[in-house]
Amino acid sequence: MERETTEHRSRKQPPDGRVVRDSFTMPNSDHRLIRELQITYARVGVLFNKGEVLRAGLHALKNMTPEELSEIAGNIEHLKGGRGK
């Protein structure tokens, strides 16, 4: 598999050069979905890391109508925050 594509190398950098590191909890099924999306897009030459998949999803959510967002939100499993003990 090719390591990077032209599209991957030309992605925009954060405007001010700063990034925020964060962590969160998600179901295994969502974690597997990230990997499935990475594989699907790699087949067409677009390489995403996990963070890029999540950020692409955020941009897609931003473009939804409130009604569409409400429908999606109803399908998301609500989890207790923090790390499990």
What confidence tens digit (pLDDT) does each residue in 3-40 have? 455 455 456 666 677 888 888 889 999 999 999 999 99
- Share above pLDDT 70 across residues of the chain, in percent, rounded to a whole number: 78
Q: How far apart are the first and last CA of the chain?
A: 38
pLDDT-based confidence at residue 64 (cuts at 50, 70, 90): very high
Q: How far apart are CA 33 and CA 46, in angstroms?
A: 16
